[in-house]
A and B are shown apart, each in its own frame.
Chain A
Amino acid sequence: MSQPGLMSNAERLVYTANRIALNLAAQEPGRAAEATATHIKKFWEPRMIARMFGALEKGDVGLNEVAGAAFDILREQADAPAAVAHA
């Protein structure tokens, strides 16, 4: 990972997602991915989520397991025919 202060925007998004996942995994170990997805949906601007989707389509960006699962959930929600209610 690049050094702090020198992270690119893309690296910073991944780093932030991983930190959210780490902290929420400790808080809610039974539903860490769902909690992470909910948090991201609640606080991230749509373009930030779209940018992550775009990066993930190109390959592994370094998300940890929980964060990766969270974005899988967000992808499903985005692709779902009807909007899912926000938490």
Chain B
Amino acid sequence: MAWTGEIDLGTPAPALVTDKMVTLTIDGQEARVPEGTSIMRAAALMGTSIPKLCATDNMESFGSCRLCLVEIDGRAGYPASCTTPVAEGMVVRTQTDRLTQLRRGVMELYISDHPLDCLTCGANGDCELQDMAGAVGLRDVRYGYDGATNMGQPKDLSNPYFDFDPSKCIVCSRCVRACDEVQGTLALTIQGRGFDSKVSASQNEDFLGSECVSCGACVQACPTASLIERTVVEKGTPEHAIVTTCAYCGVGCTFRAEMRGEELVRMVPWKDGKANHGHSCVKGRFAWGYANHQDRILNPMIRTSIDEPWREVSWEEAIAYTASEFKRIQAKYGPRSIGGIASSRCTNEEAFLVQKLVRQGFGNNNVDTCARVCHSPTGYGLGTTLGTSAGTQTFDSVMHADVIFVIGANPTDAHPVFGSMMKRRLRQGAKLIVADPRRIDLVLSPHIKADYHLPLTPGTNVAVLTAMAHVIVTEGLVDEAFVRERCEWDAFEDWARFVSDPSRSPEAIEALCKVPAADLRAAARLYATGGNAAIYYGLGITEHSQGSSAVIAIANLAMATGNVGREGVGLNPLRGQNNVQGSCDMGSFPHEFSGYRHVSDDATRQAFEKDWGVALDPEPGLRINNMFDEAIEGGFKGLFVQAEDVVQSDPNSQHVAEGLRAMECIVVQDLFLNETANFAHVFLPGSTFLEKDGTFTNAERRVQLVRQVMSPKNGYADWEIVQLIANAMGLGWTYTHPSQVMDEIARLTPTFAKISFEALDRLGSIQWPATEANPEGMPIMHVDTFARGKGKFVVTEYIATDEKSGPRFPLLLTTGRILSQYNVGAQTRRTGNTAWHPEDVLEIHPLDAENRGIREGDLVALKSRTGETSLRAKITDRVAPGVVYTTFHHPQVLANVVTTDYTDWATDCPEYKVTAVQVSPANGPSQWQEDYAEFSRRNRRIATELEPAE
């Protein structure tokens, strides 16, 4: 595709950043560019387009199409401008009679073997081959169209989102290079030579069956209609675009939403996106069709009992019923008997309004968010050690890392665009340590091999991290100058004494964690001495009974080795959802206002009281899991749930269900009837990210605009719905645009003081803190001092989880995500992504499978002390013997029916990653699954009016 509305400079900026400038002359005009710039890029920067087909500025130059030839004084021949760097005093001509002749000859060759169906082609008007034919003045093709041809080859229509027509391919290799350089999957190649050259996916397979991950980089790179989005073929080329931010994962890719009127045609990654730099994954680029899915609910519904079918009502009736029920419940059971769950997928403004509704309207602090079940230990751990509850770097920082330590994270699946960037750095030579019970793709994939894979037993993170600290301290690898200057020395000494004990050595814990001591020692030495060392971690660290301790242990390692406060290092929590960072920032926690300030802090609370005009509760409220407990106790009876599916995503699903059943009014605001809606009394149809304005904050603390591209099909943006409820409860809100909410956030939250929609529009994005001292944000944190002043070392004693395997439950289950699906799958299951992962499966080691008589694809019962479910087996050695793994994307399996309610000691983050299970052959779904399927079917009924009889 052509870069619609964006300028393609042909080749990337020089790899080596330099101040040295070169002056040359291009077509009689003087140009001054950094040393290392290509002639093509230099010309483009001064507004001169040199014809090109194989060059594009997000990939290295290739020099194959021979269109971009130029004449250079003093040089023989006609060099390619894409592969020729500028030189001081160079004189270049880009347009001469001879060059025109050569270019026309090249184009004649291309067109002699290319369909001439421009007027009916999907890329008509958006085709670089068409553009170049015009640019070189092509008027005829002297070769004719007889003889051997590559036209008429069968199309590959296997991918649900794009078509591949080999007949239109000009073998420029842009797609191959995009897959190599941008995505890093290396799924494509050019098979054959000369006339027989053709693009091939994996071993000459179709795209769907190949290693292609459907990121779309090849489609974006393709200059013809050979690779083209199916939506463009069906709908036509877009006519305008609006830049917005993805609503899937915590990378926060920005896209041009390319539209025809109010219809979305395609999502094209925005070149200037600071998080994604023009790249994307299959979800953000293609999986937006859920917005128009037939399952989407567009009208409010209520029912007095969950045993009744839903009844469609007007917005007025639904909102009035919600308010009256919440007031009734509070009058009967007390002010703390209702609460809310803010969404980590909705905007910052929406999260702020939900916690405001609870605090100002309900008069309590019973508000929580899904960070409870994922990265709440990050908030606790980093807050304790460094003074701030967020990652310390930008994503770009990885390009300066010499050692990358990935623990409890799987970025190529869960943060794919960042995973691609990490792989690019690894291909440049950075070293890699991976600590994961599974052999994730990063351990071994094309051109990527971990220097150390530490396949630790689930539940032993703290022991392993403390053992690494033992090596660093006892072998004299501590950066003492850094620690003395930047950290509390006394605390360091206590910690150093603790980790030095022989009982914490790699040898002492080898039998426990199953990591060879020699590997652990070597990994620790590499981290401490390999140069810039960065840690990337995810839910494999946090979702444990010692999740907070593990985060603290990671911070200890970084401080001890001086790997904080500059590019290429740091602590990088890979936040899962598009706005889970933002939801936390906005005070969606029962104990904190926005900006991570405790509700008991008088100065903070008084500032909010003054702004909001009410007295606020100084006591912490209920966490999500406590809400269910309190409901069963009879003291919590009403709940507002915005875009969160606690039944599917929270652990011990039966306990969650029991808690919900005990409530009297559950209000669910969502796009679809999800599992939680089965227990709800009010359903308020929500809006998608395409249908509202606001901001998301990604894992880099980067606040980015979400821009409305179409009217909300349900009638209201999500923030408007919260305002309706608030006003029905008498709060008198008068917001007319989310920018006003952000202004209020900035007024009340010091770290957001300089953030506004105007500033975001002007700057593109801002990484908080954005204060008077740093009005445009702070990409790297803790540069001179830590947020708390001195960094604090904290002792992390390994305390084993009480979830133990034994004779009845001899295996350990750990759970995670897969690339093509997203969290509970509410969105992605309603898109073409089901082509890749139509059901959750259980990964089991061949030895464990053989011992149980289980074969590939067999239905198996997965049973724990908590519950049982059935799913299909996938036999693989990616998991170690004794460990099994599944995902949680499909409600038919509802994997959380087997997870326990053991939680992190500090934050109650569930221990999803350690469940003792047994696996055995099954001959059908579990009784629970059958019962739940019927329950779910019954509870999703929507009453319809009968037509009167004739």
Contacts and interface: CB of A to CB of B under 8 A. Distances in A.
B906 interface: yes
A20 B905 contact: yes
B620 A5 contact: no
B802 interface: yes
B903 A16 contact: yes
Nearest to A4: B900
Interface in A1-55: 3-7, 9, 12, 16, 19-20, 22-23, 26-27, 39, 42-48, 51
B632 interface: yes
B905 A19 contact: yes
B797 interface: yes
A86 interface: yes
A55 B630 CA distance: 16
B545 interface: yes
Contact of B620 (A3, A16, A20, A43): A43
Interface stretch (B481-489, B621-629, B759-767, B919-927): B621-629
Interface string B891-924: 0000000001111011110000000000000000
A62 to B, nearest CB: 13
Interface string B22-44: 00000000000000000000000
B620 A42 contact: yes
A4 B633 contact: no
B906 A5 contact: no
Tell me what chain A mostly uses at the interface: helix, strand, loop, or mixed. helix
Contacts of B803: 4
B905 A5 contact: no
B821 interface: no
Nearest to B802: A4
A4 B655 CA distance: 11
B867 interface: yes
B339 to A, nearest CB: 10
Contacts of A46: 619
Given A23-B906, A42-B620, A5 B900 contact: yes
Given A5-B867, A47-B630, A86-B598, A26 B620 contact: no
A33 to B, nearest CB: 16
Contact of B906 (A12, A20, A48, A86): A20
Contact of A45 (B546, B598, B621, B903): B621
A42 B591 contact: yes
A43 B619 contact: no
B796 A4 contact: no
B629 A9 contact: yes
Contacts of A20: 905-906
A39 B630 CA distance: 20
B865 A4 contact: yes
Interface string A43-84: 111111001000000000000000000000000000000000
B902 A4 contact: yes
Contacts of A43: 591, 620, 623, 906-907
Contacts of B629: 9, 12
A5 B630 contact: no
A22 B865 contact: no
Contact of A4 (B546, B590, B866): B866
Contact of B635 (A26, A27, A44, A47): A47
Contact of B901 (A4, A19, A47, A86): A4
Given A4-B803, A5-B652, A23-B797, A45 B905 contact: no
A48 B633 CA distance: 11
A22 B655 CA distance: 26
Nearest to B798: A26
A26 B633 contact: no
Contacts of B654: 5
A48 B622 CA distance: 9
Nearest to A48: B626
A19 B545 contact: yes
B865 A3 contact: yes
Contacts of B907: 43
Contacts of B635: 47
A23 B619 contact: no
Contact of A22 (B601, B633, B903, B905): B905
A44 B546 CA distance: 18
Contact of B796 (A5, A26, A48): A26
A72 B508 CA distance: 38
Contacts of B633: 9, 51
Given A4-B803, A5-B866, A22-B799, A45 B336 contact: yes
A45 B626 contact: yes
Interface residues of A, number: 25
A7 B632 CA distance: 13
Contacts of A7: 901
B504 to A, nearest CB: 12
Between A7, A27, A45, A85, the greatest number of chain B beta carbons within 10 A of the residue's beta carbon is seen for A45
A23 B680 CA distance: 38
A23 B799 contact: yes
B748 interface: no
B494 to A, nearest CB: 9
A21 to B, nearest CB: 9
Contacts of B520: none
Nearest to A51: B633
B650 to A, nearest CB: 13
A12 B902 CA distance: 9
A19 B901 CA distance: 13
A9 B618 CA distance: 24
Contacts of B579: none
Contacts of A39: 906
Contacts of A26: 795-797, 799
Nearest to A5: B866
Contacts of A42: 591, 598, 600, 620
Interface string B581-623: 0000000001100000010110000000000000000111111
B590 A45 contact: yes
A2 to B, nearest CB: 10
B58 interface: no
B794 interface: yes
Given A45-B621, A45-B626, A27 B795 contact: yes
Contact of B622 (A3, A27, A45): A45
A44 B626 CA distance: 9
A5 B655 contact: yes
A23 B864 CA distance: 26
B343 interface: no
Contacts of B796: 26-27
B709 to A, nearest CB: 41
Interface string B785-827: 0000000001111010011000000000000000000000000
Interface in B322-362: 336
Nearest to B652: A5
A28 B874 CA distance: 45
A23 B462 CA distance: 12
Contacts of A27: 794-797
A46 B620 CA distance: 7
Contacts of B794: 27
B549 interface: yes
Nearest first, the 6 A-B pairs at minimum CB distance are: A5-B866, A26-B797, A86-B600, A4-B900, A19-B905, A9-B629
30 contacts: A3-B865, A4-B865, A4-B900, A4-B902, A5-B655, A5-B866, A5-B867, A6-B865, A6-B866, A9-B632, A12-B901, A16-B903, A16-B908, A20-B906, A23-B546, A23-B906, A26-B795, A26-B799, A27-B794, A27-B796, A42-B591, A42-B620, A43-B620, A44-B620, A45-B366, A45-B630, A47-B635, A51-B633, A86-B601, A86-B618
Interface of A: 3-7, 9, 12, 16, 19-20, 22-23, 26-27, 39, 42-48, 51, 85-86
Given A5-B654, A23-B799, 19 more contacts: A4-B802, A4-B901, A4-B902, A5-B867, A6-B866, A19-B545, A22-B799, A23-B546, A23-B797, A23-B905, A27-B795, A43-B620, A44-B620, A45-B622, A45-B626, A46-B619, A47-B336, A47-B635, A51-B633
